Amino acid sequence: MAIPDPETIPRPLGPSDIGLMRDMLRMFGRAFEDVPTYTAAQPDDAYLARLLDSDTFIAVAALQGGVVVGGLAAYVLPKFERARSEVYLYDLAVADTHRRRGIATALIAELRRIAAARGAWVVFVQADYGDDPAVALYTKLGTREDVMHFDIAVE
């Protein structure tokens, strides 16, 4: 396993980290080759501050020299059948120039720490067929379940 550069520090973002959140959005756009989705219609600062201060959203950025080189966004989902929650890892990316250095693993380790502190019992994530690096990472860290995913349009 690659050991992250000691200068690369994953840390949770809070309501005062609007600039870092915007940097992370730009990094996501480049990493996912979908810059318009992540940059063209970003929410205003007040929205991002509320989101980053929410009990149901988690953002973690990997910083190297103050520059965002990786990040993740996750949602805390309170459960109804038991007094516990699950954390859904929604997006995770590492800049092309910083891949294969253990940054994604360090980001997930920080997410697991945060999830445990918030009383979550599991972190779950989906990966697309053909995204072999993501599948390999998640297989290394967890148990694979093959499920079907459906998008249901909202009128």
Residue-wise pLDDT for 88-128, tens only, equals: 999 999 999 888 888 999 999 999 999 999 999 999 987 77
3-class DSSP assignment, residue 77: strand
Spans in the chain with pLDDT lower than 50: 1
Q: What domains appear along the chain, each with residue ranges and CATH number?
A: 8-141 (3.40.630.30)
- Cα–Cα distance measured from residue 61 to residue 77, given in angstroms and rounded to the nearest whole number: 21
CB 42 within 8 A of CB 22: yes
Residue whose C-alpha is closest to residue 39's, from 30, 26, 52: 26
Look at residue 91 in the predicted model and tell me its pLDDT. Answer: 94
